């Protein structure tokens, strides 16, 4: 009975991914100073023992630059995902609970935002907010809430129509009690999974707008900046400038997706016996 | 002092009326049977009388007052045909029962609810076991009319007999009005003071 079941495996994997992501963030923050150090005696080194990811044309250590970039990405991801999820919860819940013309208007607005290509919207909002950190966070946060808002709206509508909620109303429970006892517990797993799944999106879009030059300023060692700078050196055979930072970005995104998957498995009551 | 449905008309869509000018009165202590072919609106009538739906025309009165005006615990409770949808899958059954303001231990025993079941989730009990919880919940003090929609269709005959015996005792002791929906004419003959066909 108490063997190594799938639930326990999911929990281990969850802790492991969370630990890895924390380690990357901590390492990146600690190495932030080292990422800016230039030394022309060691420029353009391919990957070797002291510099695992090689060095660039100014002799900067690519490993510490990559880690610093990732930690910046993770922090931006956290912030934007939290803001996005907050907006999604508000819009989705209002839409479902108020109904009528409010629902119509909000659903129309969700469709409108969804209809504009993500990257275009992120660039426009980022420009409007003056680019930089604030621009990227605003751009990604204000464009990524739509699908989660739809999920929240659908879930609230569905649970509200369930017989057990109607029975609870007839038993004289207050609206607040029904919200707390019946709606929130059903909403939480969907919401948390949606929230964590927002991270990879946010991180990738942050890197893309920065790569395109509408995001973080060039002096910051962000993944998007590193990748866009490396473009000029790829043709001269300096492959390590793009390959390692690119792969690490993919790695972080996969870790977040894995995290969301394990979280969903742990919160889903149907998997209690797995 | 009765539960009255007056000239009830109801349609789920614009066309195809399920109920047309139907009237039904339920007095305290009375046991009315309701039968009819599938799709004739037996469940719909229960939903209207319990206040889950509003009739398109006509009204549901409790003691002469519209049922929709009652606040707090509704004195008319319905026992659903499918108990697995009528309990929250994320709540332990102890918490589900507590929504009815707690149920006395004697009633749980009479319904053959084992104490261990209270700490389980609905997915860990069978339909018949869940239905007993729904019945216990609906028998909370303050309830005066029970609408039983195919309540025992999923139970074996012995359990059916036990549950109806208990319910009849409760109805007698508390002067509950019962509306019993069933396809089983011999069951209705046994239980009801009168039978109405839809």
Whichever domain contains A235, its CATH number is 1.10.3720.10
- Residue B148, classed as helix, strand or coil, is strand
Q: How many CB atoms lie within 10 A of CB B188?
A: 21
Q: Answer whether residue A58 is part of any domain.
A: no
Nearest CA-CA distance, residue A190 and chain B, Å: 14
Complex confidence, ipTM: 0.86
Q: Answer whether residue A54 is part of any domain.
A: no
Strand partners, B194: B32
DSSP E strands in chain A: the ranges are: none
For A273, the closest chain B residue by CA position comes to B124
Residues of B within 8 A of A174 (CB-CB) are none
Q: Answer whether residue A51 is part of any domain.
A: no
Single out the residue of B110, B100, B152 nearest to residue B130, CA to CA. Answer: B152
Which string of DSSP letters, residue by residue, matches A207-229? HHHHHTTSSS-TTS--HHHHHHH
**Cβ neighbours of residue A265 under 8 Å, at least 6 residues apart?**
A6, A7, A10, A271, A274
Nearest CA-CA distance, residue A260 and chain B, Å: 21
Nearest CB to B99: which of A168, A269, A270?
Answer: A168
Q: Answer whether residue A196 is part of any domain.
A: yes
For B141, the closest chain A residue by CA position comes to A171
Strand partners, B148: B79, B180
Q: Do B137 and A170 touch (CB under 8 A)?
A: no
d(CA B54, CA B11): 10
Residue A179 structural domain: 2-31+63-273
Q: Any idea which residue has 């398109």 for tokens?
A: B56
Q: Do B123 and A170 touch (CB under 8 A)?
A: no
Single out the residue of B150, B177, B181 nearest to residue B77, CA to CA. Answer: B177
- Total number of domains in chain A: 1
- Per-residue pLDDT at A88: 93
Q: Answer whether residue A208 is part of any domain.
A: yes
Q: Answer whether residue A39 is part of any domain.
A: no
The yes-or-no verdict on residue B154 having pLDDT over 50 is yes
Nearest CA-CA distance, residue B51 and chain A, Å: 8
Helix orientation angle between A184-211 and A132-141, rounded to the nearest 10 degrees: 140
The yes-or-no verdict on residue B110 having pLDDT over 80 is yes
What is the signed CA dihedral for B170, B172, B175, B178, rounded to 10 degrees? 70
Q: Answer whether residue A52 is part of any domain.
A: no
d(CA B1, CA B28): 8
Least confident of A116-125, B12-21, B42-51, B128-137: B12-21
Element spanning A203, H or E? helix A184-211
Consecutive sets of 10 residues in chain A, 274 residues long: mean pLDDT of each? 69 86 83 75 76 76 85 87 92 88 93 90 90 87 91 91 90 88 88 84 84 82 81 80 85 85 74 56
CA distances from A15 to A11, A18, A166, A193, B178 (A): 6, 5, 39, 16, 55
- The interface residues of chain B toward chain A in range 104-123, judged by CB-CB distance below 8 A, are 121, 123
When pLDDT is averaged across residues B41-55 and rounded to a whole number, the result is 89
Q: Do B88 and A166 touch (CB under 8 A)?
A: no
- Per-residue pLDDT at A274: 52
Q: Do B87 and A164 touch (CB under 8 A)?
A: yes
Q: Do B95 and A181 touch (CB under 8 A)?
A: yes
Q: Answer whether residue A50 is part of any domain.
A: no
What is the signed CA dihedral for A252, A257, A261, A264, rounded to 10 degrees? 100
- Per-residue pLDDT at A1: 43
When pLDDT is averaged across residues B62-87 and rounded to a whole number, the result is 87
- Residue B65, classed as helix, strand or coil, is strand
């Amino acid at each position: 009975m108490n063997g190594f079941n799938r639930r326990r495996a999911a929990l281990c994997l969850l802790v492991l991914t969370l630990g890895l992501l924390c380690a990357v963030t901590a390492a990146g923050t600690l190495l932030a100073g080292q990422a800016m150090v230039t030394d022309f005696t060691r420029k353009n080194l391919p990957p070797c023992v002291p510099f695992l990811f090689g060095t660039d044309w100014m002799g900067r250590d690519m490993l510490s630059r990559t880690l610093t970039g990732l930690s910046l990405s993770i922090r931006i991801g956290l912030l934007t995902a939290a803001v996005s999820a907050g907006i999604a919860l508000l819009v989705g819940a209002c839409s479902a609970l108020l109904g009528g013309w409010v629902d119509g208007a909000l659903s129309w607005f969700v469709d409108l935002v969804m209809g504009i290509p993500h990257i275009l919207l992120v660039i426009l909002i980022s420009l409007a907010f003056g680019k930089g950190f604030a621009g990227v966070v605003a751009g990604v946060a204000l464009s990524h809430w739509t699908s989660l808002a739809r999920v929240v709206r659908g879930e609230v509508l569905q649970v509200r129509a369930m017989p057990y909620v109607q029975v609870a109303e007839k038993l004289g429970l207050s609206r607040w009690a029904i919200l707390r006892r019946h709606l929130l517990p059903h909403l939480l797993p969907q919401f948390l999974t949606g929230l964590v799944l927002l991270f990879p999106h946010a991180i990738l879009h942050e890197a893309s707008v920065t790569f395109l030059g509408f995001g973080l300023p060039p002096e910051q060692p962000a993944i998007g900046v590193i990748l866009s700078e490396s473009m000029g050196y790829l043709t001269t055979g300096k492959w390590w400038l793009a390959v390692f930072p690119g792969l690490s970005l993919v790695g972080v995104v996969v870790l977040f997706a894995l995290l969301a998957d394990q979280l969903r498995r742990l919160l889903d009551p149907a998997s209690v016996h797995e | 002092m009765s539960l009255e449905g007056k000239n009830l008309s109801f349609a789920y869509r614009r066309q195809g009326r399920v109920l047309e000018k139907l009237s039904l009165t339920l007095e305290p202590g009375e046991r009315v049977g309701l039968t009819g072919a599938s799709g004739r609106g037996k469940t719909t009538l229960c939903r209207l009388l319990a206040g889950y739906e509003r009739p398109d025309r006509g009204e549901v009165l409790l003691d002469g007052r519209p049922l929709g005006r009652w606040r707090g615990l509704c004195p008319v409770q319905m026992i659903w045909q499918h108990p697995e949808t009528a309990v929250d899958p994320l709540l332990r059954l102890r918490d589900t029962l507590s929504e009815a303001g707690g149920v006395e231990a004697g009633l749980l025993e009479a319904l053959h609810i084992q104490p261990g079941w209270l700490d389980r989730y609905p997915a860990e009990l069978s339909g018949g076991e869940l239905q007993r919880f729904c019945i216990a919940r609906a028998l909370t003090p303050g309830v005066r009319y029970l609408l039983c929609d195919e309540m025992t269709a999923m139970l074996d005959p012995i359990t059916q007999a036990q549950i109806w015996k208990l319910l009849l005792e409760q109805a007698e002791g508390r002067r509950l009005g019962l509306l019993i929906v069933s396809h089983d004419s011999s069951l209705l003959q046994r239980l009801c003071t009168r039978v109405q066909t839809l």
